[in-house]
Structure formats: C-alpha cells, structure tokens
C-alpha cells in the first residue's frame, strides 16, 4: 500500500480529480481502507450512485463506513460542515477520514459558488482537527473554471496515489473570486423595499410573494422567518436602513437583504451556536431554513441572498 | 382572576393572569419581534425572580410571528427556573417550532405543549 504523505493526527484536505469510474473508485477505496486498517472511523458523503460504486468496491468493509447521500445532506452546501463537525466530535480523540463530493455538474451557478465557498471554509472550520478529508471532482463533466477553483480551495491534490501540495492553494482564509466578489445583480424587475423600523411590513411582503410563487404554507413560513431574522440584524447592527429585494424565476424565489452592517465571521451560519450563546442563532437558523444562502460582507456592507426552490425534491 | 395588560410594545401585547396558588398565565398576542424584545425579557425575568410563582403558562396561540430572540428569551427563562418550577408554552406558532427544532432541540426546560 502506498504510504500516506500526511502524518496521522493532522488535518488534511485533498482534491482528487477523476474522469473514469476506475479513477474514482480505486483511490477512494484505497484511502478508506488505509483508515479502516488503522481502526479509524470513516464517513463518505457523495451522490448516491457514486456511493453504490464505493460500497461495491469495499465489499464487507463498507459496513464499517458511514454513508450519506450528498445530494440531500449537502443540497445546501452550508449544511455540510456542521455534519462533518458532528462526525469529528462524535469520535473525539481519534483520527477520522471523510470523503465529501459537494460539487456536481447539475448544480446551479449559485449552488456552485456556495459549494466552492464550502470547500474553502473546510480549511478554516477544521484547522487543527484530527481529520483527513478527500474531495473528488469529475473533470470529465465539470467546467474547467470549477476545477481551477478546486486547486485554490485544497491545500493538497491526490494524484496517482500520492499527495502533493496544490500550488494554487489560497490559504485557510482565501476564497476564490467566484465566491467572494459581489453577487450578480438582481433582475431589473425585482421588487425592492426599504425598511427602517417596521419588520411587519418586511414579513408581509415576503409572505405575499412566497404564496404568489406557490410555496407551501410551511416553506413560506420558513422564508418569512429567515428574511425577518436577517432584517432584524440590520436594525440591531447597522445604523442605516436596509433594503429587501424579491424576485423569482421558473425554479426559485429569491429574497435578498442588503444593509451597511458587517459580518466578520466567515463561518457564520455554519457553526451550531451553543444553546446559551449570546448570538449566532439567527444566522444559523437562516442557513438551515433556506435551500441556499449566499452571503457577502465587507466594510461597505452585507448582502444575504436567500433562495427557496419552487418545486423542492 | 385578575388580568393585567403588562406590556404593549411594538405589535406585541402581553396580558398576565395570576391564578393562585403559584400559577401565572401569560397571553402573548400580535408579533413578538425586535421591538418587543426588551419588554418580553423584562416580564419573564420578573416572573423568574419570584420563587412563589411555580408554574408559568404561556399562551402563544394569538401570536402571528415570533422571532429567534423571543424564542430564546422563553427558552433561557425556563432554564433559570430550577427544580419545582416550570414554564409551559402552548399554541406555539410555526416559526417557534422551527426555531426550537434547529436551535434548542435538546433543551427540555421549556415544555412545549401541543394543546
């Protein structure tokens, strides 16, 4: 067996680029077997069809690996880090292995931005953790720009069974430009509303548009709660009015809050706050309730864009 | 039985009924959001500080909306009560049930009644 270039007891985060089924199964099964032989817990979150290939390759050993369907667990990429964190914490004191495939070709542009951001934030969220993380990328189907970003978000690449440093790695605080530059502008026909004190009006507008778009009562209520929390942050932290924009297309309704506040924690919404924490519950909840959340914040202001699918799977 | 309007801030009204022995019913109506946060906290802290009040019942069936901070106030107030005292919420709106599910699922001090 090839020796792992990364010593146990350290954090590792490597990208694996594959074109064929064999390119996929052989190195991942090898990565998992190496851990299983050392008695390490393993977690695999990949699309279900890919998981089936890995189960087949692992044979009886598959029973010692925890599997999740990434298209459900990571539909919103912000849900992934808390799930991996829970696995790491569950096996506290032990080195764990995790295979995560959050990027696939049918993701929307907004989802791809968030999945890429998720990959970058893995480095920050698990810095110093006793975890080895491997992320497969399908170079036969994904846009070359997406592959280039994987070089930036992963400190290591796994090639031919050997690990090498990724020359393009941006560092634990680096974000590829696709997920740090301003979001594409809302469409020209988006509804826009400025609020200063009254969140009742904000909620009423979101509810009306959510219902007009055909969201179920429960999902409309979720969107109202999410937008209201973000708007409340404007009134708490920003010293100027906020703007609510709402638009929709064939697939989703989008609500965006923009204000002049600043959110400094890059992992806001991706770390479960302690029950008695003074803050952080609002943004955490927003990320759990929505199908996708895009957040951009700097000294000029904050934009939080909340997406809800019209026909959720 | 005495009913007092103890707070009318923003769009939230809080009515308190004292039901001896040791029981208090709070009725919240309207929308519990940022504008009513301080008032709600003050009412809850006032009750929590009275050991003679052992059972605090909170009727939320008249609430159209409750934000995370207001749910948090209820959850944390319940957690301060200690043995022999309890807080029971009924008529929780969808927003509160979702907030509890994601933020305080394992927090059992606040009893949420389906009735």
| Residue A119 and residue A102 in contact, taking contact as beta carbons nearer than 8 Å | yes
Tokens, residue B58: 């909170």
* Residues A236, A151 share a domain: no
Interacting residues of A86 by C-beta distance below 8 A, sequence separation 6+:
none
Interacting residues of A25 by C-beta distance below 8 A, sequence separation 6+:
A53, A54, A57
Q: At CB < 8 A and 24+ separation, what contacts does A72-75 make?
A: A73/A45, A74/A45, A74/A100, A74/A102, A74/A115, A74/A118, A75/A291, A75/A313
Structure confidence at residue B5 as a pLDDT band (50, 70, 90): confident
Cβ-Cβ contacts under 8 Å, A285 against chain B? 68, 98-99, 102-103
Give the pLDDT confidence score for residue B115 in this predicted structure.
59
* Residues A139, A159 share a domain: yes
CB contact A270 to B (< 8 Å): no
Angle at which helices A109-125 and A80-90 pack, to 10 degrees?
30
Q: How many helices (H) and strands (E) does chain B have?
A: 3, 6
Give the pLDDT confidence score for residue A81 in this predicted structure.
98
Report if residue A56 sits inside a domain: yes
Structure confidence at residue B106 as a pLDDT band (50, 70, 90): confident
What is the gyration radius of the CA atoms in chain A, in angstroms? 20
* Residues A171, A25 share a domain: yes
Please judge whether A200 and B102 are an interchain contact, meaning their C-beta atoms are less than 8 angstroms apart.
Answer: no
Structure confidence at residue A239 as a pLDDT band (50, 70, 90): confident
User: Which of A218, A236, A282 lies at the smallest CB-CB distance from B94?
Assistant: A218
Q: How many domains does chain A have?
A: 2
Domain of A226, CATH number, reads 3.30.565.10
* Residues A246, A124 share a domain: no
Please judge whether A275 and B11 are an interchain contact, meaning their C-beta atoms are less than 8 angstroms apart.
Answer: no
* Residues A204, A65 share a domain: no
Select from A274, A264, A251, A272 the least CA-distant residue to A295.
A264
Report if residue A222 sits inside a domain: yes
What is the gyration radius of the CA atoms in chain B, in angstroms? 13
Chain B, 85 to 114: residues with Cβ < 8 Å from chain A are 94-95, 98-99, 102-104, 106-107
Report if residue A113 sits inside a domain: yes
| Full residue range of the structural domain in which residue A124 is found | 12-179
Give the pLDDT confidence score for residue B2 in this predicted structure.
65
A124 has a pLDDT exceeding 90: yes
The helix (run of H) or strand (run of E) holding residue A208 is helix A199-212
User: In Å, how far from its chain's centre is CA B16?
Assistant: 11
Compute the average pLDDT of residues B4-27.
89
Phi then psi for residue A51, to 5 deg, are -60, -35
Please judge whether A228 and B72 are an interchain contact, meaning their C-beta atoms are less than 8 angstroms apart.
Answer: no
Q: Residue B26: is it exposed, middle or buried by C-beta count within 10 angstroms (0-12/13-18/19+)?
A: buried
| Residue A302 and residue A116 in contact, taking contact as beta carbons nearer than 8 Å | no
* Residues A197, A159 share a domain: no
| Residue A60 and residue A34 in contact, taking contact as beta carbons nearer than 8 Å | no
The pTM of the full predicted model, rounded to 2 decimals, is 0.94
| Residue A132 and residue A15 in contact, taking contact as beta carbons nearer than 8 Å | no
Tokens, residue A273: 């706050």
Per-residue pLDDT reduced to its tens digit, A34-93: 999 999 999 999 999 999 999 999 999 999 999 999 999 999 999 999 999 999 999 999
Compute the average pLDDT of residues A158-162.
86
Give the pLDDT confidence score for residue A1 in this predicted structure.
38
Which of B31, B37, B102 to mutate against chain A (most A CBs within 10 Å)?
B102
A6 has a pLDDT exceeding 90: no
* Residues A294, A153 share a domain: no
Per-residue pLDDT reduced to its tens digit, A205-228: 999 999 999 999 999 999 999 999
Interacting residues of B114 by C-beta distance below 8 A, sequence separation 6+:
B90
CB contact B42 to A (< 8 Å): no
Cβ-Cβ contacts under 8 Å, B75 against chain A? 275
Domain of A66, CATH number, reads 3.40.50.300
The helix (run of H) or strand (run of E) holding residue B62 is strand B55-66
A173 has a pLDDT exceeding 50: yes
Structure confidence at residue A2 as a pLDDT band (50, 70, 90): very low
Please judge whether A221 and B98 are an interchain contact, meaning their C-beta atoms are less than 8 angstroms apart.
Answer: yes
Please judge whether B68 and A229 are an interchain contact, meaning their C-beta atoms are less than 8 angstroms apart.
Answer: yes
Cβ-Cβ contacts under 8 Å, B69 against chain A? 232, 282
Report if residue A186 sits inside a domain: no
* Residues A214, A130 share a domain: no
Could you say which of A114, A147, A179 is where a domain stops? Answer: A179
Dihedral in degrees, nearest 10, Cα atoms A289, A295, A236, B88? 20
Q: DSSP class of residue A19?
A: S
Report how far residue B96's alpha carbon sits from residue B61's, in angstroms, rounded to the nearest whole number.
11
B2-113 homologous superfamily: STAS domain (3.30.750.24)
A134 has a pLDDT exceeding 80: yes
Report if residue A185 sits inside a domain: no
Q: DSSP class of residue B83?
A: T
Compute the average pLDDT of residues B80-107.
94
User: Which of B35, B67, B95 lies at the smallest CB-CB distance from A221?
Assistant: B95
Compute the average pLDDT of residues A94-105.
97
User: In Å, how far from its chain's centre is CA A310?
Assistant: 21
A9 has a pLDDT exceeding 60: no
Select from B3, B62, B70 the least CA-distant residue to B28.
B62
Cβ-Cβ contacts under 8 Å, B79 against chain A? 276
Please judge whether A275 and B94 are an interchain contact, meaning their C-beta atoms are less than 8 angstroms apart.
Answer: no
Compute the average pLDDT of residues A249-272.
95
* Residues A166, A97 share a domain: yes
- Determine how β-strand A292-298 pairs with β-strand B2-9: unpaired
Compute the average pLDDT of residues A156-177.
92
Lookup result for tokens 């009560």: B81
- Rounded to the nearest angstrom, the minimum Cα separation between A283 and chain B is 10
- Rounded to the nearest angstrom, the minimum Cα separation between B20 and chain A is 31
Query: DSSP secondary structure string, A30-67?
Result: HHHHHHHHTT--EEEEE-HHHHHHHHHHHGGGGGGEEE
Give the pLDDT confidence score for residue A53 in this predicted structure.
98
Please judge whether A275 and B75 are an interchain contact, meaning their C-beta atoms are less than 8 angstroms apart.
Answer: yes
Report if residue A46 sits inside a domain: yes
Compute the average pLDDT of residues B41-55.
95
Report if residue A1 sits inside a domain: no
Interacting residues of A278 by C-beta distance below 8 A, sequence separation 6+:
none
C-alpha neighbours within 13 Å on the C-beta side of residue A307: 22
* Residue A214 Rama label (left phi>0; alpha psi -120 to 50; beta): left
Give the pLDDT confidence score for residue B107 in this predicted structure.
85
Select from A179, A207, A220, A188 the least CA-distant residue to A308.
A220
Report if residue A4 sits inside a domain: no
């Amino acid at each position: 067996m090839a020796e792992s270039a990364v010593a146990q007891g350290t954090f590792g985060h490597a990208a694996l680029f594959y074109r064929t089924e064999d390119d996929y199964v052989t190195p991942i099964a090898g990565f998992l077997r190496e851990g299983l032989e050392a008695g390490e817990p393993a977690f695999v979150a990949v699309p279900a069809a890919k998981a089936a290939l890995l189960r087949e390759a692992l044979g009886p050993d598959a029973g010692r690996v925890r599997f999740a369907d990434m298209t459900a667990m990571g539909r919103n990429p912000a849900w992934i880090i808390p799930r991996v964190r829970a696995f790491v914490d569950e096996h506290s004191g032990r080195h764990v292995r995790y295979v995560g495939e959050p990027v696939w070709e049918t993701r929307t542009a907004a989802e791809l931005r968030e999945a890429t951001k998720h990959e970058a934030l893995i480095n920050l969220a698990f810095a110093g953790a006793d975890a080895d993380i491997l992320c497969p990328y399908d170079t036969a189907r994904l846009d070359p720009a997406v592959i280039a970003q994987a070089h930036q978000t992963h400190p290591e690449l796994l090639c031919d069974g050997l690990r090498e440093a990724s020359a393009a790695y941006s560092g634990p605080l680096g974000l590829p430009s696709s997920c740090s530059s301003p979001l594409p502008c809302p469409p020209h026909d988006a509804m826009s509303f400025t609020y200063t004190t009254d969140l009742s009006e904000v909620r009423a507008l979101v509810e009306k548009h959510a219902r007009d778009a055909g969201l179920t009562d429960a999902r409309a209520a979720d969107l109202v709660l999410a937008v209201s929390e973000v708007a409340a942050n404007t009134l708490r932290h920003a010293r100027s009015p906020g703007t609510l924009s709402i638009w929709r297309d064939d697939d989703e309704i989008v609500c965006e809050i923009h204000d002049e506040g600043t959110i400094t924690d890059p992992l806001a919404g991706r770390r479960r706050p302690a029950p008695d924490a003074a803050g952080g519950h609002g943004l955490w909840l927003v990320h759990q309730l929505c199908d996708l959340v895009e957040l951009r914040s700097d000294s000029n202001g904050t934009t939080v864009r909340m997406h809800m699918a019209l026909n959720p799977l | 039985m005495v009913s007092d309007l103890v707070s009318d801030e923003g769009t939230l009204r809080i009515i308190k009924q004292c039901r001896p022995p040791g029981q208090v019913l709070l009725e919240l109506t309207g929308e519990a959001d940022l504008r009513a946060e301080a008032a709600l906290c003050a009412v809850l802290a006032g009750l929590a500080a009275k050991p003679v009040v052992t059972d605090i019942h909170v009727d939320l069936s008249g609430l159209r909306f409750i934000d995370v901070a207001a749910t948090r106030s209820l959850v944390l107030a319940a957690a301060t009560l200690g043995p022999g005292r309890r807080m029971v919420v009924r008529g929780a709106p969808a927003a509160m049930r979702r907030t509890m599910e994601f933020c305080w699922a394992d927090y059992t001090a606040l009893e949420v009644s389906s009735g």
